[in-house]
Structure 1
Amino acid sequence: MDAHSASGRVHTKGRPLSLDVSWVLSPLLALPGVARGVVLSRDGLVLGGSADVNAETGERAAAMTSSVLGAARALCLGLGNGGDGEVVDIVISADTGYYYIAPAGDRAAIVVAATSSVNVGSLAYEVQLQVQKLIKALDEASAARTPGTRA
């Protein structure tokens, strides 16, 4: 079963999420070499995914990505020179290609899988553009749910 229902909402364990941000992946999936992607909350919950990512795969990828981000922040804090340990991106190079992870503020992250033919520089640039759009969408959604604030 796909991670998306006919309505386009992402399902996790049978429950649709109230905010599906899969749209943020569309420009990335259009890049040559990018195979699939997942958008996740910083605590590892799926917020969106490419059409070929089923619920189980998305949840597993989201949980692992959340752990990788946590470990990377700890590494930056531990080896940094007094910085805050904020991670901008992580590129994992594997024999099958690349995995690109980018936090989107303090609430979400994007992870994409790409073949070895991907232009990593173009991917990095495009992911950062989408990160900014995702942050804005999450801010607007949060403001809409909070009485007395403006979007």
Structure 2
Amino acid sequence: MTVVPKRPLLRDMSWVLTPLLEVPGVLHALVLSGDGMIQGATQALTREAGEGASAMASAVQGACKELVRKLAGQEESPVLHQVVVSTNYGFAFLIPAGDNTVMAVFAQPTVDMGVIAHAMQVQVSKLGDKVMNSPARARG
């Protein structure tokens, strides 16, 4: 399966997702900036769905960090390693993939979760610091 964006992206990183599509059960994958801007997506995912998923993935990561910070009684935000959402439709995996960058994968409910998590970590290890960094946008 090839990875091609529907419209040009500011910085197209769709190609980094190709190895993840080889994992049995993976349906979609995304690369997004920490503020929820889509930077790459698998071809089977519509642009509208990708943009919505990117925004939600960013919000979920922020909510998870704040949840853990509050529960841990800490002042500083924790370092988030992975978020997994399990549903009857399948699993959503979110991991940091570089400075201000997140990788998201959606897979079938029958998938081997360990295989996907490992494949994501391997891809981030190979490319994270070299390729998948998104400068934070200026506020204001």
Normalising by structure 2, report the TM-score: 0.83
Aligned length: 131
With over 3 angstroms needed to count, the CA separation of the structure-2 counterparts of 1:115 and 1:138, relative to structure 1, is closer
For residue 23 of structure 1, report the CA deviation from its aligned partner. 1.4
SS of the residue corresponding to residue 110 of structure 2 reads coil
> Which range is displaced more, 128-137 or 80-89?
80-89
The DSSP-based 3-state class of the residue aligned with 2:61 is helix
Corresponding letter in the other structure for 1:137: V
User: Whose radius of gyration is greater, 1 or 2?
Assistant: 1
Q: Please tell me the root mean square deviation across aligned C-alpha atoms, in Å.
A: 2.1
- State the 1:3 CA deviation: 6.5
Q: Is the 2:90–2:109 Cα contact (8 Å) retained in structure 1?
A: yes
Match of 1:4 in 2: 5
Q: Deviations over 1:64-106 (max 9, x none)?
A: 0000000011012112264741110011100011111111234
For 2:119, the equivalent position in structure 1 comes to 126
Tell me, what secondary structure is at the counterpart of 2:105? Answer: strand
Residue number among 96, 112, 119 corresponding to 2:89 in the alignment:
96
Q: How far 1:24 sits from its partner (Å)?
A: 1.5
Stretches of structure 1 lacking an aligned partner (at least 5 in a row) = 6-10, 143-151
Alpha carbons 2:4, 2:14 under 8 Å: kept: no
- Preserved contact between residue 32 and residue 103 of structure 2 (Cα < 8 Å): yes
CA distance in 2, matches of 1:106, 1:70: 15
Tell me, in whole angstroms, the C-alpha distance in 2 between the residues paired with 1:23 and 1:101.
18
- The question of 1:44 aligning with 2:45 is answered no
AA of the residue aligned to 2:132: L
Cross-structure match for 1:137: 131
Query: Which runs of 5 or more structure 2 residues have no equivalent in the other structure?
Result: 136-140
1:100-140 Cα shifts (integer Å, max 9, x gaps): 1111234110111100121101111111112231332135x
